[in-house]
Amino acid sequence: MIVPPFTCPEHNRQILLVERPVGIPQPEHFRLSETRRGLPQDGQILVRNLYLSVDPAQRGWAADVQNYSATVALNSVMRALGVGVVIESRLPSICPGDIVYGWTGWQDYCCLDASGVLTHVRDPDIAVSSYAGILGINGMTAWLALERLGRPKTGETVLVSTAAGAVGSVVGQLARAEGCRTLGITGSDDKAALCVGRFGYDVAFNYKAPGWLDELDAAAPHGIDIFFDSVGGEILDSAIRRMRTAGRIVQCGTASIASWDPPPAGLRNEREVLSRRLSWNGFVIFDHGADFPAAITRLEALIRNGRLVYDEDVDNGIEAAPDALRRLYAGENTGKKLIFIG
Amino acid sequence: MIVPPFTCPEHNRQILLVERPVGIPQPEHFRLSETRRGLPQDGQILVRNLYLSVDPAQRGWAADVQNYSATVALNSVMRALGVGVVIESRLPSICPGDIVYGWTGWQDYCCLDASGVLTHVRDPDIAVSSYAGILGINGMTAWLALERLGRPKTGETVLVSTAAGAVGSVVGQLARAEGCRTLGITGSDDKAALCVGRFGYDVAFNYKAPGWLDELDAAAPHGIDIFFDSVGGEILDSAIRRMRTAGRIVQCGTASIASWDPPPAGLRNEREVLSRRLSWNGFVIFDHGADFPAAITRLEALIRNGRLVYDEDVDNGIEAAPDALRRLYAGENTGKKLIFIG
């Protein structure tokens, strides 16, 4: 485990949410601020954050519409996951020097109680940053949602949107390991090449290229058994009309929809659900905290054996976080988006 | 078992599909014709039909769009289920005098092989017509779809569309028997009263009345656990936005949509699937033929014990069938729609 050197000053830089975004958060909705770092109370740890995570889910946390979690209050630290090193612990189960992954927020330091820690690692021989990505909610979403809701079987055809992304690139590899034919959708020719060349997809499509649906039809002449979707919208409408009988749609995100307020219109899909006997399920990783340790163990083993590759796209400096989120939605990242602040 | 008296003439009246409907089939899409009745081949039975079934699914069978079953050819007998008495048998397992429920078509006589028989009853002490309704695909859909896809638990809130209909009226009673709170949606104040007074719904709503959604909100302040839907459209859009986390939508029909060609637009629902972690499943009863005998046994027991009531709405004469189908879609039926031709 390599923990970069750091100093421990008294000040704590924070990215505050200062304006409520409608749709995709933009840099102007945030402001860099500075305060004194807090002191851990009984039952808390003080964490020096190393990698801050940039996740599509942050749009929902910042928005003022009903969601699976409370809205981030204006002028408070932007909610975020991150990986950090424990500096001081008033929690018996965690020692100074341990690495934790949890609800750090976009800031240099945080005080967490046990509920704020998702993963706790004492002696990893895997890069610390991994715990904020492939061994964080991204990899765990891929593993748990595919296994539980996708239920892949050998020989099935699995279509993945955001196929080169932090979740999709893992889904493709896991599905392939299950003996499935894997088809990836992504937003550029370069990323499509990455899907095939690096993540082992059988075929990948650039959805911005005209005629990509014809390519999809040629690649999946009998239709799709599992659609692992993180984008929704027109790509979903196209995929649902190509599902095989008894197919499964795993809904992990709706990144293609710029704003849900008001809800946009689209094709009605209930007839597809009925006539194809689909099972269309929503997945939110935070329902599955109890399964994280087992999922991490499994993914760690695949990584150690070289059977699971992943990419990280790291920016430097806390001030880079807001624009990194914008670029994530613009599809400009290559792999798991992280901010290194160690 | 009461089998009405009948003669066995040589001629066979048939309702032919003569024009391809777009949307709801209307009487002008059909024509009454007459032919000589067929002779059963080896492995077939000759059936004198008694009750012809009128089902929402017939729209899909008559339409020229992709569906779960082949399209009825123009100028051939309209596909339909029905109950009849076996006149002659060249199938070892079935005797003359037996009652069968199966793919009779809208006609006086039919020759069926074993695959055309869904249910075979030798000595029922339940009315013959029941086997075309509550003990036919309607009751079996209610039972199997609710149990397998709805998975009701005591104390949950179950919302049912077409709550007074042949499927919905059974779903409401079965869900109530499981200890659920049952809410019904129907198309008139009279039917809403029937839902509560006869089928035991806790509350029922007339969706044509202004303010019915406010009533629904008052009746389900914490939301809906199971939505058993046979209509789709705006009622589905309203219900999905009231689902509780981990709720289940059982899609058994899309009767409210006049035409799927071209597919109509509506609210996008993928965000609801995701953020509420819904499980939205399509159900087609014909996938579940192997489970019919067990389901019938269970429903027969409930009927005998007086724990399951049902209504039939019977028209007389084969020529009444086309208009009966139109009226079914117009919501003008009261209970399972049948045509008596015995």
* CB proximity A233 to B under 8 Å: yes
Q: What is the mean pLDDT of residues A74-91?
A: 96
Residue B236 structure tokens: 């589905």
Closest partner residue to B253 among A254, A265, A274, by Cβ?
A274
Determine, for residues A268 and B245 on separate chains, whether the beta-carbon distance falls below 8 Å. no
Decide if B77 contacts B16 (C-beta within 8 A).
yes
What amino acid is encoded at A77 in this protein? V
What pLDDT does residue A253 have? Answer: 94
- List Cα–Cα distances, A14 to A11, A49, A113, A129, in angstroms: 10, 11, 19, 20
Question: What pLDDT is attached to residue B2?
Answer: 42
Residues of B in contact with A60 (CB under 8 A): 275
Can you tell me the distance from the alpha carbon of B257 to that of B304, in angstroms, rounded to the nearest whole number? Answer: 37
- Suggest the residue from B67, B254, B270, B284 to mutate for an interface test with chain A (most A CBs closer than 10 A): B270
3-state secondary structure of B221: coil
Residue B223: burial class (beta carbons within 10 Å; 0-12, 13-18, 19+): middle
For A233-259, what is each residue's pLDDT tens digit? 999 999 999 999 999 999 999 989 988
- The verdict on A67 touching B (C-beta cutoff 8 Å) is yes
Length of chain B equals 342
Determine, for residues B284 and A268 on separate chains, whether the beta-carbon distance falls below 8 Å.
Answer: no
Predicted confidence (pLDDT) at residue A2 exceeds the cutoff of 60? no
Task: Check pLDDT > 90 for residue A9.
Answer: no
Sheet containing strand A181-186, edge to edge, reads: A203-206, A181-186, A157-160, A224-229, A243-251, A279-282, B279-282, B243-251, B224-229, B157-160, B181-186, B203-206
Is beta strand A99-102 parallel, antiparallel or unpaired with respect to B265-267?
unpaired
Give per-10-residue mean pLDDT for chain B (342 aa).
54 96 93 94 97 93 78 96 96 94 97 95 84 94 97 98 95 97 97 97 98 98 98 97 98 90 91 96 94 91 91 96 94 91 88
B233 Rama class: left (phi>0) / alpha (psi -120 to 50) / beta: left
**Cβ atoms of residues A177 and A307 within 8 Å:** yes
B266 neighbourhood in chain A, CB within 8 Å: 265-268
- DSSP state letter for B27: G
Q: What pLDDT is attached to residue B7? A: 54
Tokens of B259: 């035409």
Cβ atoms of residues B150 and B228 within 8 Å: yes
Contact B274 A263 (CB under 8 A): no
Helices (H) and strands (E) in chain A, counts: 9, 17
Q: Are A80 and A52 spatial neighbours (Cβ–Cβ below 8 Å)?
A: yes
Alpha-carbon distance of A197 to A2, in angstroms, equals 30
Mapping DSSP onto H, E and C, the string for A229-276 reads ECCCHHHHHHHHCCEEEEEEEEECCCCCCCCCCCCCEEECCHHHHHHC
Residue A250 exposed, middle or buried by CB count within 10 Å (0-12, 13-18, 19+): buried
How long, in residues, is chain A?
A: 342
Longest dimension (CA), chain A: 62
Terminal C-alpha separation, chain A: 14
Strands (E), A97-163: 99-102, 109-113, 117-121, 157-160
Q: Between helices A168-177 and A137-145, what is the axis angle to 10°?
A: 40
Angle between helix axes B168-177 and B137-145 (nearest 10 degrees) is 40
Say what the pLDDT of residue A3 is: 47
- What is the distance between the alpha carbons of residues B218 and B210, in angstroms, rounded to a whole number? 14
* Residue B10 CB partners (closer than 8 Å, separation 6+): B36, B37
In tens, the pLDDT along A28-41 reads 999 999 999 999 99
Which ipTM did the prediction report? Answer: 0.90
Averaged pLDDT of chain A: 93
Residue A7's pLDDT is: 54
Q: Chain B residue closest to A259 (CA)? A: B271
pLDDT band for position A263 (cuts 50, 70, 90): confident
The answer, yes or no, to whether residue A261 has pLDDT greater than 90, is no
Find the mean pLDDT for residues A265-274: 95
Give pLDDT tens digits for A271-303: 999 999 999 999 999 999 899 989 999 999 999
